[in-house]
Amino acid sequence: ENTGLMPAFKAELCGAMRAEALWCISEFLMHHA
């Protein structure tokens, strides 16, 4: 089965989302400082 894939996939997805969130926050701060 691919149960071993799920944690890695979730971790990668969470990492991407966190990076995206940081980028959005920095963009927001730059434009609304």
Q: What is the pLDDT of residues 1-33, one digit of tens each?
A: 566 677 888 888 878 888 888 988 999 999 887
- The runs of H, that is alpha helices, within the chain are 5-32
pLDDT of residue 30: 92
Residues 1, 20: Cα–Cα separation, whole Å: 31
Torsion angles phi and psi, residue 6, rounded to 5: -60, -50
pTM: 0.46
CA angle, 10 then 22 then 3, to 5°? 5
Residues 13, 16: Cα–Cα separation, whole Å: 5
